[in-house]
């Protein structure tokens, strides 16, 4: 059972990261679409309570930053697992380190992708409002 517990923990961490990231992705895309439809409709929309800038600063930007932080934390947890495991067989310990590094690639790539997407969204927002 000891050897089975670790893969289950890694799988659960990865599933949690993927599931949460997909939810963030749907929400971020919906907010971005809302922002750009408002821009197409009325520009800054000063007559509306929530214009494109308000939606960006209160929804899109915090969601993007929150997802980047979440994925960074998941990556850190996955990469730190080998330090907390007491494995006496050096070959098995090395396999664990390799597995954790490979598994952490997905949330690390997700964090980088959301950071790049956030910068792209900000650039497009500034361009479309000018």
Contact 36, 128 (CB under 8 A): yes
pLDDT at 2: 58
Q: Along the 130 residues of the chain, how does pLDDT read in single tens digits?
A: 456 677 777 788 788 888 888 998 999 999 999 999 999 999 999 898 889 999 999 999 999 999 999 999 999 999 998 888 878 889 988 988 998 999 999 999 999 999 999 999 999 999 999 8
Pick from 89, 79, 84: nearest CA to 111: 79
Q: What is the pTM of this model?
A: 0.86
């Amino acid at each position: 059972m000891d050897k089975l517990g670790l893969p289950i923990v890694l799988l659960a961490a990865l599933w949690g990261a993927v599931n949460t990231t997909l939810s963030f992705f749907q929400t971020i895309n919906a907010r971005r679409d809302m922002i750009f439809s408002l821009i197409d409709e009325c520009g800054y929309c000063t007559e509306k309570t929530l214009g494109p800038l308000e939606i960006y600063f209160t929804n899109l930007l915090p969601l993007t930053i929150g997802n980047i932080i979440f994925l960074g934390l998941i990556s850190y947890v996955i990469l730190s697992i080998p330090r907390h495991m007491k494995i006496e067989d050096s070959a098995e310990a090395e396999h664990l380190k390799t597995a954790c590094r490979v598994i952490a690639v997905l949330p690390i790539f997700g964090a980088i992708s959301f950071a790049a997407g956030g910068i792209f969204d900000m650039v497009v927002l500034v361009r479309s409002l000018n």
